Amino acid sequence: MLNSIINLSKELIKIPSISPLDLGCQEILAQKLKKIGFIIENIKINRTSNLWAYKGHGKTLTFVGHTDVVPAGNIKKWKIHPFQPIVINDYLFGRGSADMKGSISAMICATENFLKKYNFHKGRISFLLTSDEESRACDGTKKIVQILKKRKEKINYCLVGEPTSNKILGDCIKNGRRGSLSAVITIYGIQGHIAYPNLAENPIHKSIVFIKKLINLELDRGNDYFKPSCLQIFFISSGKLNITNMIPDSIKIGLNIRYTPEIKKKNIVLKIEEMLKKNSLKNKISWFFSGDPFLTSSGKLLQVTKSSIQKILKISPYLSTSGGTSDGRFFPLLKSEIIELGPVNKTIHKINECVKVQDLYLLSKIYENILKKLFL
Ligand SMILES: [Zn+2]
């Protein structure tokens, strides 16, 4: 089993599927799934490839993953070629080894093994794989979940293979993620000669009080699972560095809010728009929404994931909602129970990305055990 996981991982890593391109990874996986009785559906949306595959009937577990990777960065800094995977000292090196071609291979091999032993299981096993998770995430899981919703498909359990482990495999399960909302605010002043400020209105000066209020804005206090919502400014721009005698006519401020289920997106919008009004700032604001928060505080999938980790690894995982967004955010639409479990995330998106060979094997054992606990 170990060999088949590593061979499949290598086969996938060899394909430089920089997001949103798949370049044939999903075809390799589809062939494997077809062989064990899965019904395959390829759904291409613009440049994004998506694979929806299923087998069985009844309550559904969906393995969720992405075949795209982030670029390699400076290839000269890698100790191996990022797309020529190799095992060195029990670590498999290559772009995507940890995020997340390794866990996809572990999922496939877990399913093959499970079906070899228990072909007459209860329930339905399915896979939803996309190739745009690392880029805009607009033509992938998001759209497929909408299609499934229209077809009245049900996904009871959604298991995302993102690299959630921190120090050692299985130490951390993600049972939720914060929502993410961005805004670009333009605050207008009146352009003029810098020596005659009385004839102009300096938008930089005017917005400083507002920016301070933004930084100190308390949106909520979090809860047992989430730290308080957090606002960060990521961009400020006004004027021109080489024009020293002009008061500019506007300032642009970019901000992002990572928010908890304790506050609604529309209330964040209201709060910030009210602040602009109160400070009498003439403005234009554009909002960019990338995902609502989700939380699985209890349920069967959470319970069997925890007990499978305990059984295979002899450790008790802790629950976390930290980190960026993931494709898990799209499944609340199908009212699924969402859990994320994958390899150690220490080297993801970095030079020399790698994963412990043994971890992929153990991860596959955990996935298989989850299948057993749900469907036997
Ligand atoms: Zn990932």
CATH code of 56's domain: 3.40.630.10
* Tokens 């003439």, residue located: 282
Q: Residue 22 to residues 50, 139, 157: CA-CA distances in angstroms?
A: 9, 13, 25
The tokens for 311 are 């059984």
Mean confidence (pLDDT) of the chain:
96
From 291, 320, 351, give the residue that closes a domain.
Answer: 291
Both 184 and 286 in one domain: the answer is yes
Helix H or strand E encompassing 143: helix 141-150
The Å distance, Cα 81 to ligand 1 centre, comes to 20
- From 323, 255, 320, 331, select the one nearest 292 (Cα to Cα): 331
Q: How far apart are CA 308 and CA 367, in angstroms?
A: 8
pLDDT for residue 245: 97
Please identify which residue in the block is written with the tokens 């064990």.
36
Residues near 292 by beta carbon (within 8 Å), at least 6 away in sequence: 179, 265, 329, 332
299/355 same-domain check: yes
Check 68, 134, 340, 359 and give the catalytic one: 68
Percent of the chain with pLDDT over 90: 96
DSSP one-letter code for 172: E
**DSSP of 200-219:** SB-HHHHHHHHHHHHHT---
- Give the Å distances, CA to CA, from 10 to 27, 134, 344, 352: 15, 20, 18, 15
Is the predicted pLDDT of residue 1 greater than 90, yes or no? no
pLDDT at 35 over 90: yes
Q: Does residue 169 share a domain with residue 20?
A: yes
Contact call for residues 353 and 70 (beta carbons, < 8 A): no
User: Using CA atoms, how far apart are residues 103 and 111, in angstroms rounded to an integer?
Assistant: 12
Q: Is the pLDDT of residue 216 over 90?
A: yes
193 Cα to the center of ligand 1, angstroms: 50
Q: What's the pLDDT at 159?
A: 98
| Whether residue 183 sits in one domain with residue 173 | no
Cα of first residue to Cα of last residue in the chain, in angstroms, is 21
Average pLDDT rounded to a whole number, residues 61-69: 98
pLDDT at 148: 97
Indicate the residue among 291, 324, 342 that finishes a domain.
Answer: 291
Q: Regarding beta strands 157-160 and 172-174, do their DSSP bridges make them parallel or antiparallel, or are they unpaired?
A: unpaired
User: Which residue is catalytic, options 22, 112, 132, 133?
Assistant: 133
Q: What is the pLDDT of residues 66-109, one digit of tens each?
A: 999 999 999 999 999 999 999 999 999 999 999 999 999 999 99
Residues 29 and 147 in one domain: yes
Residue 338 CA to ligand 1 center (angstroms) comes to 15
Q: In terms of domains, do 356 and 213 share one?
A: no
- pLDDT confidence of residue 325: 83
Mean pLDDT of 269-290: 95
**133 given a catalytic annotation:** yes
Report the pLDDT value the prediction gives residue 173, as an integer from 0 to 100.
96
Q: What is the pLDDT of residues 317-369, one digit of tens each?
A: 999 999 888 899 999 999 999 999 999 999 999 999 999 999 999 999 999 99
Tell me, yes or no, whether 133 and 247 share the same domain: no
Judgement on whether residues 122 and 165 belong to the same structural domain of the protein = yes
State the average pLDDT over residues 303-307: 98
Together in a domain, 169 and 221: no
Q: How far is the CA of 243 from the centre of ligand 1 (A)?
A: 44
Residues 130 and 153 in one domain: yes
pLDDT at position 291 is 85
Q: How far is the CA of 257 from the centre of ligand 1 (A)?
A: 21
Cβ atoms within 10 Å, residue 79: 10
Catalytic annotation present for 368: no
Question: 250 and 371: one domain?
Answer: no
At 119-162, the pLDDT tens digits run 889 999 999 999 999 998 899 999 999 999 999 999 999 999 99
Say if residue 82 is in the same domain as residue 120.
Answer: yes
Question: What CATH number is attached to the domain comprising 212?
Answer: 3.30.70.360
Residue 241's pLDDT band (boundaries 50, 70, 90)?
very high
User: CA nearest 161: which of 110, 195, 206, 122?
Assistant: 110
Which of 251, 266, 291 is the last residue in one of the domains? 291
Domain tally, the chain: 2
Q: 213 lies in which domain range?
A: 179-291
